[in-house]
Amino acid sequence: MVHIRDDGVFDAPIDKLWKYIQDNDAHQHGAFVVQKVLEQKGSAMTVEAKLGNPDGTFDVEKLRLDYHPPKGFDLEYLSGPMKGTKHTHTYTPQGNKTRVVVEGEFVVPPGMTENAVRKNALDYFAMTFEEDNSALKKYR
Q: Given this model, what pLDDT does residue 82 score?
A: 92
Q: Where are the beta strands (DSSP E) in the chain?
A: 2-10, 32-41, 44-52, 58-68, 72-77, 86-94, 97-106
CATH number, domain with residue 60? 3.30.530.20
Going by C-beta distance under 8 Å and a sequence separation of 6 or more, which residues neighbour residue 110?
none
The per-residue pLDDT for range 39-58, each reduced to its tens digit, is 999 999 999 999 888 788 89
Q: Given this model, what pLDDT does residue 55 score?
A: 83
Q: Given this model, what pLDDT does residue 69 score?
A: 92
Alpha-carbon distance values, 15 to 19, 98, 100, 117 (Å)? 6, 9, 14, 32
Q: Given this model, what pLDDT does residue 135 score?
A: 96
User: How does DSSP classify residue 79?
Assistant: S
Cα atoms in the Cβ-side hemisphere of radius 13 Å centred on 51: 20
Domain residues for the domain of 84 are 2-138
Looking at the DSSP assignment, which residues form a beta bridge with residue 42? none
In the chain, the number of structural domains is 1
Task: Tell me: pLDDT of 124 over 90.
Answer: yes
Q: Pick 16 or 57 by higher pLDDT.
A: 16
pTM of the model: 0.92
Q: Given this model, what pLDDT does residue 56 score?
A: 85
